[in-house]
């Protein structure tokens, strides 16, 4: 009898039937069941919904407008987190409908279902936006992969595991929309989330930006004021401090005695895409 896996929730827009079929086939090949959760279409939000979820312009730190698709993406993940908490799942996996999955994906889920190694969320996918993950602290080995606490987690939210407590913490951070969800997920120290990354990632975005967040329609631009500039400056200055303090709280003497490891060779999406293409060609020639 195979090891049990946690429930898998798949975010999928109603219109993206081809992506749903592709994910269904891919998950079936790996022996993984799933529950589809309809994604929230940002540009389909009503005026009342937009008024409720309009992003806080004083918190959003990027030098561009917030997109409606990003609002929909945040609300889609929020919907699943609410379900995880409401249905009292001890652990669940969340996938977007544009991910490729490693052949051992089911075993990865089973291994982590047995032992999350003290983590409340584990990223199974990530996009390297800085060129290198920077400093990490190895937590455990799982087959050919390593579970790391990362001082600068990768962005991306197309695949992750989250515990009931982790879902509660993320929901508390989503009482309003103020940034794309992957930024919230990566900002673990801000909401005291015990987050780790499993590298090499067993999941990767196959087509870059997800359709769930692809609508580029902008919300009304709000010029930055003094409050915005002060908050942005505080966020930049305080993030490293919060991260170090979080490391000390979580690892105690180990954080003082063991220097973190600098990871110089990230497993990026291009490597995953190349590997997935090779696997597809191999299956086609079999």
Verify cis geometry, omega within 30 degrees of 0, for the bond prior to 122.
Answer: no
pLDDT of residue 98: 93
**β-pair type (145-150, 35-38):** unpaired
pTM confidence score: 0.80
- Would you say residue 3 lies in a domain? no
More confident call, 240 vs 80: 80
Q: For 161-194, how does the pLDDT look when each residue is reduced to its tens digit (9 = 90+)?
A: 999 999 999 999 998 888 889 999 998 888 889 9
pLDDT of residue 283: 36
Is residue 23 scored above 80 in pLDDT? Answer: yes
- Would you say residue 1 lies in a domain? no
pLDDT of residue 138: 86
Q: For 68-88, how does the pLDDT look when each residue is reduced to its tens digit (9 = 90+)?
A: 888 899 999 999 999 999 999
- Would you say residue 176 lies in a domain? yes
> What is the pLDDT averaged over residues 241-262?
61
- Would you say residue 49 lies in a domain? yes
Q: What residue numbers bound the domain in which 63 lies?
A: 8-285
- Would you say residue 2 lies in a domain? no
> What is the pLDDT averaged over residues 36-50?
91
Q: Which domain CATH number covers 115?
A: 3.90.550
> Total domain count for the chain?
1
């Amino acid at each position: 009898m195979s090891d049990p896996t946690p429930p898998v929730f798949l975010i999928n827009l109603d219109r993206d039937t081809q992506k749903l079929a592709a994910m269904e086939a891919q998950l079936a090949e790996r022996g993984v069941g799933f529950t589809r959760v309809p994604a929230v279409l940002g540009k389909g939000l009503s005026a009342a919904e937009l008024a409720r979820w309009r992003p806080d312009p004083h918190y959003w730190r990027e030098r561009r407008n917030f997109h409606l698709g990003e609002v929909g993406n945040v609300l889609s993940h929020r919907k699943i987190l609410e379900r995880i908490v409401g249905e009292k799942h001890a652990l669940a996996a969340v996938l977007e409908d544009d991910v490729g999955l490693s052949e051992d994906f089911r075993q990865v889920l089973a291994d982590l279902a047995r032992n999350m190694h003290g983590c409340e969320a584990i990223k199974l996918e990530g996009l390297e936006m800085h060129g290198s993950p920077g400093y990490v602290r190895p937590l455990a080995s799982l087959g050919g992969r390593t579970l790391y606490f990362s001082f600068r987690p990768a962005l991306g939210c197309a695949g992750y595991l989250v515990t009931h407590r982790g879902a509660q913490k993320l929901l508390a951070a989503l009482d309003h929309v103020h940034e794309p969800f992957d930024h919230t997920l990566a900002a673990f120290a801000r909401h005291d989330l015990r987050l780790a990354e499993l590298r090499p990632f067993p999941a990767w975005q196959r087509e870059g930006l997800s359709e769930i967040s692809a609508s580029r329609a902008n919300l009304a631009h709000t010029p930055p004021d003094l409050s915005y500039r002060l908050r942005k400056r505080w966020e930049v200055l305080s993030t490293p401090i919060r991260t170090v303090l979080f490391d000390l709280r979580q690892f105690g003497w180990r954080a003082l005695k063991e220097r973190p490891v600098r990871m110089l060779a990230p497993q990026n999406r291009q490597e995953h895409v190349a590997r997935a293409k090779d696997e597809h060609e191999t299956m086609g020639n079999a």
